[in-house]
Amino acid sequence: MATDKHPQPIKIAILAMGGEGGGVLADWIVDLGEQAGHWAQTTSVPGVAQRTGATIYYVELFPKSAALGGGPEPVLALMPLPGDVDIVLASELMEAGRAVQRGLVTTDRTTLIASTHRVYSITEKSAMGDGRVDADQLLAHAQAAAQRLVCFDMAALAEREGSVISAVLFGALAGVGVLPFSRAQFEATIERAGLGVKSSLQAFAQGFALAQNPALITPPAPMAQSATKPVPQEPVLRACVDQVWDMLAEPARTLAIEGVRRMADYQDPAYARLYVDRLESVHQALPQDPMEVMAALARHLALWMSYEDTVRVADLKTRGSRFDRVRQEVGAQPAQLLRINEYMHPRYQEVCESLPARLGTWLMASPRLRALGERVLSRGRVVQTNSLSGFLLLYVVSAFKPWRRRTLRYQLENQRIELWLSLVRQWVPAHPALALELVLCQRLVKGYSDTHARGHHHHDQLLALVAEHGARLSAEQLRALREAALADDQGNAFRSTLASQGWA
């Protein structure tokens, strides 16, 4: 048979998400091929996949010159055959993984060109904690499966050039030089398409350059560690830093110093002192020095002690640094005016908790005032932070910071914190593993209003469990319970795990 005497079609699969320009890319490649004397065929299965779903565009090119005396035309396929694809273009890292999973990427022939940026799946996004999959896993699979892998963050490039990923991919495709067409032919294709030509060509050039010289790709910087001891001006803070520096080793040290910084920002040096004393109290209880407990504690104690109350929110929302950040985030030009509107919905409980403890407790207790208050606060408010009235409102609220220690919320949080710490201290000597899991339980306490209440509820249950059955409770069980509490926001997994472990 003539099979090997004649050239094969060039087989190209494009994996993209709906509305990502995969179709445009396919059309470019077809036009490129046809202008360069090839038969070109492309097809896809749009339908509802267009609506943000993952979809595959498939292209085949065949040189007319190779045809026997100008004909017959080759029979081209309408879908890729696993193990028989020359080039795979993936607009995103998980789509690259999908291409490997579908067997489209093989070591004997496939050049895989992919963007390393992530567009998170709904499963990853909606997790209550961190549901993101390991990008290195995906990269490793791509690396292992492809004959040649060219990948870099094309989304960032596209954004910088004010263009789209498909243009960068097209540039990378030209850059790897697997197609028998010149750079000029590629660029002419973009010009013929005639839409956003200038920015597309710039993005194309970037993709081309990086594909030819991957060395240009800059790796992300690792988390900075404080190699040298910082020296605060304020004496109390300086003392705190010194104490932490001597008490702890990395990674606990960096986290604890960050914690001191956070306490000063949140309240004042005295509060930082309280933070360090609390660390100290657990550290003393430690038999030897398992830094993971202290690292976890430095992190989670700082987070808990800087709980988000109305004062904190008002403070953060009104800072100049925040105004600048928003400006930069939304990409507002200097000539443009920017209005920042906050969506605030304080509930009666939160208002009471921000008041002096006695008053707050009394207001919470009074059913008539509660009814009234809840009616007043039933609707959320939109506050324009950079209007005079809006700013002053929040600024005044944040000005109550010095009186924070008197508030009901402060009392409640501190009772909880102390109970938590006492249990940690109690179990750290005999059962450090359990203590560690107990420290990590602080993760449950986050969010606002209902979310926050639910978290606290689960956290309290776990503390009670440790207090009561600590001796019979294994670290694994506690971890399982904590993860169950983060599995769904109805608390179903949590209840069932409690039951399965025989506590409820």
Partner 1 sequence: MAERSFVQEVQKLRLGAGEEFVGEGILAVTKALLESGVSYVAGYQGAPISHLMDVLADAQDILQEHGIRFENSASEATAAATLAASVNYPLRGAVTFKATVGTNVASDALANLASGGVTGGALIVVGEDYGEGSSIMQERSHAFAMKSQIWLLDPRPNLPSMVKAVKMGFELSEASHTPVMLQLRIRACHVHGRFTASDNVRAPFALHEAMEQPQRDVSRIVLPPASFVHEQEKLTHRWPAAVDFIQKHQLNEFFDGEAKDVGILVQGGNYNALVRVLERLGLADVYGRCRVPLYVMNVAYPVVDAEVLRFCQGKRAVLLVEEGQPNFVEQNVATVLRQAGCTTLLHGKDMLPPAGEYTLHEVLKGVRAFAQRYDLIAAAQTSVAQALPAAASASAAPAPTPTKAHKVFALKPLQQVVQPRPPGFCTGCPERPIFAAMKLVEKELGAHHVSADIGCHLFSILPPFHIGNTTMGYGLGTAGASAMNVPAGKKAISIMGDGGFWHNGLTSGIANAVFNRSNNLTIVVDNSYTSATGGQDVLSSKALNPTRSTGHLIEKAVRGVGVEWVRTFKRTYDVAGLRDALKEALTSTQPGPKVLVAQSECMLNRQRREKPQVRAQLAAGQRVVRERFGVDSDTCTGDHSCIRISGCPSLSIKTNPDPLRTDPVATVLDSCVGCGMCGEVSHAAVLCPSFYKAQIVSHPSAWERWWDGLRRQVVGVLQRRRAQQLAQWAF
Residues 475-494 that bind partner 1 (CB under 8 A): 489
By C-beta, is 313 or 473 nearer to partner 1? Answer: 313
* CB of residue 103 to partner 1, shortest distance in Å: 4
Residues 216-235 that bind partner 1 (CB under 8 A): 223, 230-234
User: In 456-474, which positions are buried (b, 16+ CB within 10 angstroms) versus exposed (e)?
Assistant: bebbebbbebbeeebeebe
Residues 141-200 that bind partner 1 (CB under 8 A): 141, 144-145, 159
The pair of three-digit structure tokens given for residue 426, joined into one six-digit string: 């109690």
By C-beta, is 183 or 261 nearer to partner 1? Answer: 261
Residue 183 to residue 179: CA distance in whole angstroms = 10
395 binds partner 1 (CB under 8 A): yes
| Secondary structure of 97-116 as H, E, C letters | HHHHHCCCCCCCCCEEEEEC
Place of tokens 């472990």: 501
Say what the alpha-carbon torsion angle 322, 328, 329, 335 is, to the nearest 10 degrees.
110
115 binds partner 1 (CB under 8 A): no
Residue 157 to residue 170: CA distance in whole angstroms = 13
Q: Per-residue string for binding with partner 1, 239-258, x by CB under 8 A?
A: --x------------xx--x
Q: Which of 65, 70, 379, 502 binds partner 1 (CB under 8 A)?
A: 379
In this structure, the strands spanning 54-63 and 38-44 are: antiparallel
Residue 132 to residue 170: CA distance in whole angstroms = 28
CB-based contact 56:13 (threshold 8 Å): yes
Q: Which of 242, 268, 292, 460 binds partner 1 (CB under 8 A)?
A: 268
Q: Per-residue string for binding with partner 1, 431-460, x by CB under 8 A?
A: ------------x--xxxxxx---x-----
- Cα–Cα–Cα angle for 185, 188, 192, rounded to 5 degrees: 140
By C-beta, is 451 or 496 nearer to partner 1? Answer: 451
Residues 52-111 that bind partner 1 (CB under 8 A): 52-56, 62, 67-68, 72-84, 94, 97-98, 100-101, 103, 105-109
Size of the site for partner 1 (CB under 8 A): 148
* CB of residue 226 to partner 1, shortest distance in Å: 10
Residues 295-324 that bind partner 1 (CB under 8 A): 299, 302-303, 308, 312-313, 315-323
CB-based contact 110:104 (threshold 8 Å): yes
* CB of residue 376 to partner 1, shortest distance in Å: 14
330 binds partner 1 (CB under 8 A): yes
- Cα–Cα–Cα angle for 459, 462, 464, rounded to 5 degrees: 110
Residue 167 to residue 272: CA distance in whole angstroms = 51
* CB of residue 131 to partner 1, shortest distance in Å: 8
Residue 36 to residue 31: CA distance in whole angstroms = 8
* CB of residue 168 to partner 1, shortest distance in Å: 16
Which listed range, 174-182, 203-211, 386-394, 457-465, lies at the site for partner 1 (CB under 8 A)?
A: 386-394
Q: Which of 347, 370, 405, 425 binds partner 1 (CB under 8 A)?
A: 347
Residue 65 to residue 75: CA distance in whole angstroms = 15
Which listed range, 13-21, 190-198, 364-372, 424-432, lies at the site for partner 1 (CB under 8 A)?
A: 13-21
